[in-house]
Amino acid sequence: MATVRLDQKSRALTRSVPDSYHSALANYFGSGPTDIELARAQHSAYCEAMKASGIEVTVLSADENHPDCIFVEDQAVIIDGHVLLPVPGHPSRVNEQPPIADYLIEKMGGAQICRMSGDARMDGGDILRLGDLFFVGRSSRTNDEGIKELEDLLHHLNYELRIIDIPEGALHLTSIASTPTDNVIIAPEGMLSKDAFGELPEGSEVYWMPIEETYGCNTIGLPGNKVLVAEGYPTVLEKMQELGLESVVLDVSQFRAGDGSLTCCSLFY
C-alpha cells in the first residue's frame, strides 16, 4: 500500500487467495492465474517476508464470490489514521469491501472514516505517497469525482495532490511506480512523461527504469532499510542496492497473472 510513510508501516492487512482466483480480471500484465496452489504459496511467502521485517500481518479469509479479493490495496485509502473507503472502479469488485471496512473500523478505533458516494470511483492502487506529497492516477478505475474526494481529504490534512494520467496500457498508478523509500520514486521510462511527477521536494528523486522492467517498478519499502521486490527485474534490484536497501526478492508470478503487483496485496493501517 502506497499511502503510508515508512514509519507508519507496522500492521498490514492481507486476504487469502480464493479457489475462484483463476477468474480474476486480467487485462494488463497477466492473462489470468493458472495455478491456485502456487498463488497460495506465493501469498504465504509474501506474508512471511513482511512478518520477518517486523510487520504484524493479518490475513482475512477469502471471498469465493470475489476472485480479485486478494488485492486489498484497492479497497481502502488509509492516510495518517484516516480511512477513505472508495467506490472501486470495477463493478465486480465493489462488494469485496465490507469485511475490509469492518476490520479497519474495528482495529483503528477512533479513525475518521469517509465513504465515497455518487459517481465517484477510485481504486486504492491509483494512489502513491512520497513523504508528504501525494499522486493520484486518473485511470480506467479512478475518475475526477473520486479524485475530488481524495483531494478534499488531503487538503484537510494539508497535503498536496498531483494528478497523473495513466496510459492505456496500465491499470493503476502503482502498476507503474512505487516509492521504496519516502524520497525515491521508481517508474518505467516511456510510460509517463519525464515531468509527470512535477518538481519534487529537495532530496527526492525519480529513477527511471527500463520499460521491460515495468512490473518490477512496484516495490514495498519496509522499515529497517528493507524492500520487497518482484523476482526477475535486475535493473530495479541494482537500483535498490545502490540506494543502500536490502532487497527481499519474491516470486509473484501468480499475482502478476491476475494483474496484481506487490503493493496490491496489502493495506498498512
Q: Is 192 or 243 the residue whose CB approaches ligand CIR more closely? A: 192
From 93, 129, 226, 256, residue interacting with ligand CIR (rule: CB under 6 A): 93
Identify which of 222, 269, 266, 227 has the alpha carbon closest to the alpha carbon of residue 1.
Answer: 266
For residue 98, the surrounding DSSP H or E stretch is helix 97-107
Q: Is 73 in the site for ligand CIR (CB under 6 A)?
A: yes
Q: Is 125 in the site for ligand CIR (CB under 6 A)?
A: yes
Q: Is 261 in the site for ligand CIR (CB under 6 A)?
A: yes
Q: Is 63 in the site for ligand CIR (CB under 6 A)?
A: no
CB of 230 to ligand CIR, least distance (A): 13
CB of 202 to ligand CIR, least distance (A): 30
From 245, 264, 268, 269, residue interacting with ligand CIR (rule: CB under 6 A): 264
If 0-12 CB within 10 Å is exposed, 13-18 middle and 19+ buried, where does residue 159 land?
A: middle
Range 6-35, binding ligand CIR (CB under 6 A): 24-26
Copy the grid coordinates of residue 59.
490475513
| Residue 194 CB coordination number (10 Å) | 10
Nearest to ligand CIR by Cβ — which residue?
125
Q: Is 171 in the site for ligand CIR (CB under 6 A)?
A: yes
Q: Do 198 and 242 contact (CB within 8 A), yes or no? A: no
- 173, 180, 250, 258, 263 from 217: Cα distances, Å: 11, 9, 13, 17, 11
Which residues, at least 6 apart from 192, have a Cβ–Cβ distance to it below 8 Å?
A: 164, 167, 176, 177
From 175, 178, 179, 181, residue interacting with ligand CIR (rule: CB under 6 A): 175
Q: Is 138 in the site for ligand CIR (CB under 6 A)?
A: no
- 133, 186, 219, 242, 247 from 183: Cα distances, Å: 10, 10, 14, 14, 17
Q: Is 180 in the site for ligand CIR (CB under 6 A)?
A: no
CB of 252 to ligand CIR, least distance (A): 12
CA dihedral 173→232→264→197, nearest 10 degrees, is -20
CB of 61 to ligand CIR, least distance (A): 19
Q: Do 150 and 144 contact (CB within 8 A), yes or no? A: no
Identify which of 96, 123, 100 has the alpha carbon closest to the alpha carbon of residue 113.
Answer: 100
From 74, 96, 149, 182, residue interacting with ligand CIR (rule: CB under 6 A): 74
CB of 255 to ligand CIR, least distance (A): 8
Q: Is 174 in the site for ligand CIR (CB under 6 A)?
A: yes
Residues in the interface with ligand CIR (CB under 6 A) total: 19
CB of 152 to ligand CIR, least distance (A): 22
If 0-12 CB within 10 Å is exposed, 13-18 middle and 19+ buried, where does residue 252 land?
A: buried
Binding site for ligand CIR (CB under 6 A): 24-26, 68, 71, 73-74, 90, 93, 125, 171-172, 174-175, 258-261, 264
